[in-house]
Amino acid sequence: MDYRKRDETALTRKILTYLNSLPQVVAWKVNQGTYSGMVGFPDVLCCYKGLFLAIEVKDGDNHTTAIQDYQIRKIKDALGVAFVVWSLDEVKKIVQLIDFYNCYHFVWGEHKQNEVKPNVETLEKAKMHDEQT
């Protein structure tokens, strides 16, 4: 196992610990691999207050593969929320925004350069606008 995989594994554990510490949450690690039938599926699946979340965990300059992009798109097409994170803080921010807006459609990501990331900048602007009005 190379160092990046170890770092992604450690980050995945932190994300699972955080998510499972929240009320109304169940989150688990997806077992990957050819024999599991889950090739390309996001690393973490979660039900948060009735909302289906799928989280692909990356480290450093790692990016999603074509099959991961395909699986993420399928989840979004089924009205689930799927995104890629590089830190626990990103997950915390997404959970905070879901709670703030009490609505999942604000965290649907944008597909750019082989990455699926939440549109956090737009959400922060909307949040600041809502707080000012």
Res 79: pLDDT: 83
Q: Give the start-end residues of each E strand in 30-120.
A: 44-48, 51-57, 81-85, 109-112, 115-118
Domain membership of residue 109 as a residue range: 3-132
Segment 45-98, tens digit of pLDDT: 999 988 899 999 999 889 999 999 999 999 988 888 899 999 999 999 999 888
Query: How many domains does one find in the chain?
Result: 1
CATH of the domain at 35: 3.40.1350.10
Instruction: Determine the number of helices (DSSP H) and then strands (DSSP E) in the chain.
Output: 4, 6
